[in-house]
Amino acid sequence: MREFIDTIDPIYTQIAIFIIVALFLYLSAKRILNRFYPVLQEQQKWYFTKKIVMNTIYVIIFLIFVFTFSDSFEGFYTTLGLAGAGITFALREVIVSFAGWFAILFGDFFKVGDRVLLGGIKGDVVDLGILRTTLMEIGDWVDGDQYNGRIVRVANSFIFTSPVYNYSANFQFVWDEIHIPIHFGSDNALVRKILDDVADEVIGEVSTQAKEAWYDMRKRFQLEDATLEHQTFMAFDDNWVEFSLRYVVDIKKRRIIRDRLFTRLLEEIEKYPDRIELASETFEIVRDEPRKS
């Protein structure tokens, strides 16, 4: 038996040891993560913790592989060292994307679940990869901030080369406006009252939530106090009187709230056909009649 063991090539022993150690580390990490899943999920830290732990395990396994088979790849390392500059240039995008992944995890750019505009693509972050961030795209041929069904993978390197717009980090609300054109001669005071009453009815609760989120924002950043209550403004031009309703809304409910506002406003305005008339753009077509000879 001993003679048989002595005849085994050492490389096979190294491979066996490496596989056993790698499997032990991988399965142990999975088991520990699954054990703490309920706590991490409740605190919304499951995804981030899983990514960090598993990627660390992969790096450790890779280092074990390098040290275990270092003697067998001695010539390869020499060649790799001589070609290092060329490889670095060829893989510059990969290296920058990896650096971007590291910056995203620890630089507070965005996290899974945030709505962002990254590399010209707007969507919700559904996965953070080592080289690419995966977005569920919104917009494009779909009106409003709603999913169009496309999954887009954007290189992490974009965080260094273009602005990163985060619509839901720290403050998950945005300011939005709707505009109502009214004919001259309508009861402007009544229109303003209808706008205020409908806004109280539809978005009153959202404004309360926005106040709490804004208060937390002011703890972190140097911000001036902003008006979070809805506001109504009036302006006019040669065509009509325009009323604008400005309000704060959850970024993921923007289209829904607009629909509710327009629905209720139309219902209320139609109650006063003799006092309020909606305006529309009109065109006057002038045709030159040919002169009679």
Residues 21 and 78 in one domain: yes
Q: What is the mean pLDDT of residues 113-131?
A: 87
Domain count, the chain: 3
List, for residues 84-97, the tens digit of each pLDDT value. Answer: 555 565 567 777 88
CATH of the domain at 238: 3.30.70.100
CA-to-CA distance for 208 and 248, rounded, in angstroms?
Answer: 10
What is the reported pLDDT for 53? 80
Residues 265 and 185 in one domain: yes
Burial tier of 14 (Cβ tally within 10 Å: 0-12, 13-18, 19+) = middle
Decide if 282 is inside a domain: no
Single-letter amino acid, residue 4: F
In this prediction, residue 70 has a pLDDT band, given cuts at 50, 70 and 90, of low
Decide if 281 is inside a domain: no
37 is in which domain, residue-wise?
A: 2-90
Residues 72 and 114 in one domain: no
User: Two tokens at 22?
Assistant: 């790698």
- Report helix, strand or coil for 187: coil
Decide if 289 is inside a domain: no
List, for residues 180-189, the tens digit of each pLDDT value. Answer: 999 998 999 9
State which of 147, 166, 185 marks the end of a domain.
166
> Within 10 Å of residue 117's Cβ, how many Cβ atoms?
17
> Within 10 Å of residue 235's Cβ, how many Cβ atoms?
10
Decide if 99 is inside a domain: no
Contact 173, 205 (CB under 8 A): no
List, for residues 46-62, the tens digit of each pLDDT value. Answer: 676 777 787 788 888 88
CATH of the domain at 124: 2.30.30.60
CA-to-CA distance for 30 and 54, rounded, in angstroms?
Answer: 8
* pTM > 0.75: yes or no: no
- Report helix, strand or coil for 250: strand
In this prediction, residue 245 has a pLDDT band, given cuts at 50, 70 and 90, of very high
